[in-house]
């Protein structure tokens, strides 16, 4: 007698790079990165693992593509005369991403922006700083500072951290006490 699972034919799924990326993102949000693998992705599609490899080289390429997908969704206002407003606009979109996709954001935070889309993203932010009349060296420093800040805030958001809502004992630190009112989810 033959095993039914061995004889069960895989159904043909019309796989595409876009479908793989969106499904992988959904699986990561459902089960975290630890629960994601190409084998599990293939099971989700009821196809062979090799069908995934036809579209993607490996898991790392899938993560690159998901990062590119999200980074390319960040809009830039074309306001040369308002760099602060433009940076705030970018930061709010980044924060929203961390709130909507907290499990994937933890990957985004440590994943290099080493694709054309990632390089373009950083280049546009450098242009914002350059348009604010910063020298390239200073613009480069501020790019890194902004990056570190947004990643840190995003990780806090992704983990559900709400400093403003906690009962902090800051009597000895009046400046910090006054500043905490700005650490709200609305900012």
The rounded mean pLDDT for the chain is 85
Mean pLDDT of 70-83: 82
For the stretch 100-118, pLDDT in tens is 888 888 888 889 999 999 9
The answer to whether residues 149 and 90 touch, using CB atoms and an 8 Å cutoff, is: no
Q: Is 8 exposed, middle or buried (0-12, 13-18, 19+ CB in 10 A)?
A: exposed
The pLDDT score that the predictor gives to residue 153 is 83
pLDDT digits (tens, 9 = 90+) for 169-183: 778 888 988 887 776
Query: What per-residue confidence (pLDDT) applies to 66?
Result: 93
pTM over 0.85: no
- Checking if the pLDDT of 1 tops 50, the result is no
pLDDT tens digit sequence for 51-65: 999 999 999 999 999
Q: Which helix (H) or strand (E) holds 45?
A: helix 38-45
């Amino acid at each position: 007698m033959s095993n039914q699972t061995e004889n069960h034919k895989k159904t043909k799924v019309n796989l595409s790079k876009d479908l793989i990326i969106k499904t992988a993102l959904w699986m990561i949000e459902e089960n975290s990165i630890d629960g994601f693998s190409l084998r599990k992705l293939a099971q989700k599609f009821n196809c062979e693992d090799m069908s995934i490899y036809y579209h993607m080289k490996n898991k790392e390429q899938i993560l690159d593509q998901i990062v590119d997908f999200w980074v390319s969704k960040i809009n830039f206002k074309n306001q040369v005369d308002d760099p602060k407003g433009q940076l705030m606009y970018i930061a709010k979109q980044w924060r929203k991403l961390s709130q909507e996709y907290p499990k994937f954001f933890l990957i985004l935070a440590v994943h290099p922006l080493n694709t054309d889309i990632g390089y373009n993203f950083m280049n546009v932010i450098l242009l914002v700083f350059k348009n604010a009349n910063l020298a390239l060296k200073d613009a480069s420093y501020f790019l890194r500072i902004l990056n570190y800040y947004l990643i840190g805030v995003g990780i806090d958001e992704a983990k559900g951290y709400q400093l403003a809502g906690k009962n902090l004992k800051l009597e000895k630190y009046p400046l910090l006490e006054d500043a905490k009112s700005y650490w709200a989810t609305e900012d």
